[in-house]
A and B are shown apart, each in its own frame.
Chain A
Amino acid sequence: MSTSDTPPVRQEDDDLQAARRPHRDTAGRVFAGLSTGAGTLILVVLAAVAAFLLLRAWPALTAGSEELAAISWIPDHGSIVRYVGPLVFGTLVAAVLALLMAVPVAVGIALFISHYAPRRLAASLGYVVDLLAAIPSVIYGLWGGLWLSRRLEGVWGWLADNLGFIPLFEGPAATPPRVMMTVGVVLAVMILPIITAVAREVFLQTPRLHEEAALALGATRWEMVRMAVLPFGRSGLISASMLGLGRALGETMAVLMILSPGLTYSFALLLAGRHQTIAANIALQFPEASPLGVSALIATGLALFVITLAVNMAARWVVARRKDFSGAN
C-alpha cells in the first residue's frame, strides 16, 4: 500500500475502453434472435389456428336452423350447440376414461422401472416403453378393434350382469362391443407408454438427498417413494398426464374403427350407439360434407381446441398453486 507505487493507469484505461465498446458477441445475438423468433413463431401459429377455426366455423355458428337441418347427419333441432354438445361430452368421457385407467398403471410401471427393478431389467424395460410410445396410433386402433375388443366382450358382459345396477355399467352389454368402454381401454393402452416414459424420467430426477433423508428416518422403500419421490414428481406427473390426455382427446382412427357412434349424453359405457368423439366424427363426416357441413365440423374442431386450452390451463394452475412446495426454489 505504499504511495510510491504507480498504478498501471494505461492498462486500466484500455480495459475500460474495451468494456465501453458495444460488445461484439455475434453468436450470442444470433442465438438470442433465433430463440426469440422461435418463441414468437409458436404464438403466431397458435393465433393462426384459432383465427382459421373461428373464420371457417363462422358460417355454421351463424346459420339458421333450417339451413343446418338440411345437413343429413345433423339431428332435427338444427342447432349447432345441440350438435356440438354430445360430441364434446363423448370426447371428454373417452379421454377421462382413458386417463383414469392409464395413469395409475403408468405410475406403477414408472416406479417399478425407476425404483424397484434391478438395474439391468430397468434399462431394457425403459427401452421397451420408449418403443411402445413410438408406435403410431392407427396400429393400436387396429389391434384394439380387431383383437382386443373380442376379448373384452366377455368382460363387459360380466360387468353388465353383475354391476349393472351402477348406471355406468347398465346392460345388456353390446355385442360386438363397439362401445365407449372398449374405446377407453384402447386409448388407455395407447397413451400408457408416453405417460410412463415421462413419469419414469421425472421419478429418476428425484434428488438422492431427499431419498436418503426419508430412508434415514426409517422409511421403507414404499414410504420413501411416498415421502420423497411422488411429491417431488407431482408436477411432472401432471404434465405427463396432460400429454396423454392431449393424445386421447385428439385420437381419431382408433375411435373411428371401434366405436358405434351416437349423439347422446349417456353415461352407459357398455351400450352401443350412444357416444361419438369430435376427432372421429370429423374423420367420418368430412369426405361427404357440404360447404356448410364442413363449417359445422370445423365448429366442432373449435370446441376441441378450446377444451385442450382449458385443460392445459387448468393443469398449469394446479401445478402453480403449490409452487412454493415444488422443490424448485
Chain B
Amino acid sequence: MAQRIDVKDLDVYYGTFHAVADVSMMIEARSVTALIGPSGCGKSTFLRTLNRMHEVIPGARVDGTVTVDGVDLYDPAVDPVAVRRQIGMVFQRPNPFPTMSIAENVLAGVRLNNRRISKSDAADLVETSLRGANLWKEVKDRLDRPGSSLSGGQQQRLCIARAIAVKPQILLMDEPASALDPISTLAIEDLIAELKNDYTIVIVTHNMQQAARVSDRTAFFNVAGTGEPGRLIEMDDTRTMFSTPSVQATEDYISGRFG
C-alpha cells in the first residue's frame, strides 16, 4: 500500500513568483520524512505539490516530476482529483466538516468515491479508522454528534481518521500539531509512529524536537531572502541531521541560531 515518492528537479511558481527551486529528493516508503526550515522557505508549498493541492491557488504551476509508483503525478493524463484520493492530507488547523457528524466525517472521503457501502461496512470502517487514529475510545458513544464538538486535538485525530479511511498510499501532514496543546501533540506524535507501519508519511513541522522525535529522515529547506525561491539545503537520516549535519546553515537552524 505504501509507496515511495521520487521528486526530480521540481520548481514551483505562483504566477511570476518562483516559490521553490530545484528540489530533488527520494522519500522512502513506510517511513516518516520531516520537512523543516524557517518560515517562507517553501516547505509547505513543496508538501502541497506532492498531492497537487497547490493548484487550488490560482496561478500556481510546477516544473519537474513527482513519481509515485512509476507514475508522474504531473503527467498531463493524470487527474489531480485522482491524485488527491491516493495521497491524503492533514492540515495545520483541524478542519472536520462542521455540518457532518463524527461518523459522517470519517466516511466523507469514501462517499466521494461513489462507493455504495452497506451500513455494517460503513460502521466497521468508521471503527477501524477511528481506532487507527487513536480516537475510537473517546468518541464511540457519540458518533452522531458534530465533529466540531470535539477538542482541538480530537478534531485533528478525526481529520487523520478521515484521511486514512480512504486507505491512501501516502499521508501528508502540514504542521499537524502546531495548533494543539502538548498532550494532544504527544497523542498525534504517537499516532504518527504507528501509522508509519502502513503509510509513507511526510510531515512539515516548525518544531525541531518533534522532527527529531517522529521522523526517520529530515529535509532542511532554507530561503536566501524575501523574493528568493526556497531551496532544499540537505536531506539525511534524522539522527545524522541533528548530530552532524554537513551544511553549516542546517546546524545554525537546528541549534536555534536563526529561524
Select one of B91, B109, B166 contacting A212, CB under 8 A: B91
In-complex Cβ contact of B81 among A213, A220, A327 (8 A): A220
Distance in angstroms between the alpha carbons of A214 and B96 in the assembled complex = 10
Complex Cα distance, B16 from A204, in Å, reads: 26
Tell whether, in the assembled complex, residue A219 and residue B93 are in contact, meaning their CB atoms are under 8 Å apart: no
Contact of A216 among B51, B58, B96, B149 (CB under 8 A): B51
B255 within 8 A of A: no
Bound-state Cα–Cα, A324 to B149, Å: 8
A119 at the interface (CB under 8 A from B): yes
- Tell me if A324 and B81 are in contact (CB < 8 A): no
Considering the chains assembled together, what is the distance between the CA atoms of A164 and B45 in angstroms?
60
Interface residues on A, range: 20 to 34
Choice from A207, A211, A218, A324 contacting B112 with Cβ under 8 Å:
A218
Q: How far is the CA of A109 from the CA of B253 in the complex (A)?
A: 51
* Least Cβ–Cβ distance between B6 and chain A, in angstroms: 22
A221 closest partner in B (C-beta): B81
A178 and B91 CA atoms in complex are apart in Å by 58
Chain A residue at smallest Cβ distance from B55: A215
Task: Contact check, A217 vs B100: say whether CB atoms are below 8 A apart.
Answer: no
Closest to B85 in A: A218
Partner pick for B84 among A207, A209, A217, A324, CB 8 A cutoff: A217
Q: Does B242 reach chain A (CB closer than 8 Å)?
A: no
Q: Which residue in chain A gives the minimum CB-CB distance to B105?
A: A213
Of the candidates A216, A228, A327, the one whose C-beta lies within 8 Å of that of B91 is: A216
Bound CA span A322–B97, Å? 14
Say yes or no: B97 contacts A228, CB within 8 Å: yes
Indicate if the CB atoms of A213 and B84 lie closer than 8 Å: no
Q: Does B146 contact A (CB under 8 A)?
A: yes
Please tell me if the beta carbons of B85 and A213 are within 8 angstroms of each other in the complex.
Answer: no
Decide yes or no whether A316 CB sits under 8 A from chain B: no
- For B162, the chain A residues whose CB sits under 8 A away are 213, 217
CA distance A329 to B159 in the complex (A): 18
Does the CB pair B51–A327 fall under 8 Å? no
The answer to whether A289 has its CB under 8 Å from any CB of chain B is no
B82 within 8 A of A: yes
Are A325 and B82 in contact, with the CB atoms below 8 A?
no
Check B99–A231 contact: CB distance below 8 A.
yes
Contact A217 B109 (CB under 8 A): yes
Q: CB-defined interface of B120-162 with A at 8 Å, one 1/0 digit per residue?
A: 0000000000000000000000000110110000000001001
User: In the bound complex, what is the Cα–Cα distance between A207 and B83 (angstroms)?
Assistant: 23
Chain B hits for A219, CB < 8 A? 81, 112
Interface size, B (range): 20 to 34
Contacts of A217 in B (CB 8 A): 84-85, 88, 108-109, 112, 162-163, 166
Residues of B contacting A211 in the complex (Cβ-Cβ under 8 angstroms): 56
Residue among A232, A324, A326 with most chain B CB within 10 A: A324
201-215 of chain B: CB within 8 A of chain A: none
Q: Contacts of A209 on B, CB cut-off 8 Å?
A: 91, 93, 95
A219 to chain B: closest residue by CB: B112
Contact B99 A218 (CB under 8 A): no
Determine the distance from Cα of A325 to Cα of B91 in the docked complex, in whole angstroms: 21
B15: Cβ under 8 A from any A Cβ: no
Tell me, yes or no, whether A56 is within 8 Å of chain B by CB.
no
Q: In whole angstroms, how far apart are the Cα atoms of A211 and B57 in the complex?
A: 12
| Interface flag for A223 (CB, 8 Å) | yes
- Chain B residues with CB under 8 Å of A218's CB are 81-86, 109, 112-113, 166
B148:A329 contact, CB within 8 angstroms: yes
Q: Is the CB of A119 within 8 A of B58?
A: yes
Q: Which of B97, B101, B113 contacts A213 (CB 8 A)?
A: B97
Q: Is A325 a contact of B98 with CB atoms below 8 Å?
A: yes
Q: Can you identify 5 A-B contacts, CB atoms within 8 angstroms? A: A212-B95, A216-B84, A216-B89, A231-B97, A325-B146
Q: B residues bordering A, Cβ < 8 Å?
A: 51, 53, 56, 58, 81-86, 88-89, 91, 93, 95-101, 108-109, 112-113, 145-146, 148-149, 159, 162-163, 166
Beyond known contacts A213-B97, A217-B163: 10 more, CB 8 A cutoff? A119-B58, A213-B96, A213-B162, A216-B84, A218-B86, A218-B109, A228-B97, A324-B145, A327-B148, A329-B148
Q: Which 8 A-B pairs have the closest CB atoms?
A: A327-B98, A218-B85, A231-B99, A217-B109, A216-B89, A218-B84, A209-B95, A213-B95
